[in-house]
Homo-oligomer: A and B are copies of this chain.
Amino acid sequence: MEHTETEAPPREPNTIYVGKKPTMNYVLACLTQMNNGSNTVTVKARGRAISRAVDVAQVLAKRFATDLKVQSISINTEQVKSATTGGMSNVSSIEIKLSR
């Protein structure tokens, strides 16, 4: 592990958090991960980004890294603090593990 990299480290190793950016940004992030010698990559997302996370996993495994296979998928519920009301609300999350 190189600690001199200038990029911000992910919150968990080998994990790509999918948000609102275009799908290909995250596909590229996953490919970079794999090219750095990792044999696994985990794609995570919450709320409406879940659809995009599935897209990322599919584009990756079907087009750019066909040796990658979906190893496991899990869904969960996370509690987040609402920005508007300040109360807690539930948001669904997904975690897709891919490996070769």
Chain A positions within 8 Å of B, measured between CB atoms, are 47-51, 54-55, 57-58, 62, 70, 73-77, 90, 92-94, 96
A96 touches B70 (CB 8 A): no
B73 touches A74 (CB 8 A): yes
Distance of A27 from chain B, by nearest CB (Å): 13
Assembled-state Cα–Cα distance A7/B96 (Å): 36
Across-interface contacts of A58 in B (CB, < 8 A): 75-77, 90, 92
A54 touches B92 (CB 8 A): yes
Assembled-state Cα–Cα distance A62/B79 (Å): 13
Distance of A99 from chain B, by nearest CB (Å): 15
Complex: chain B residue closest to A94, CB-CB: B54
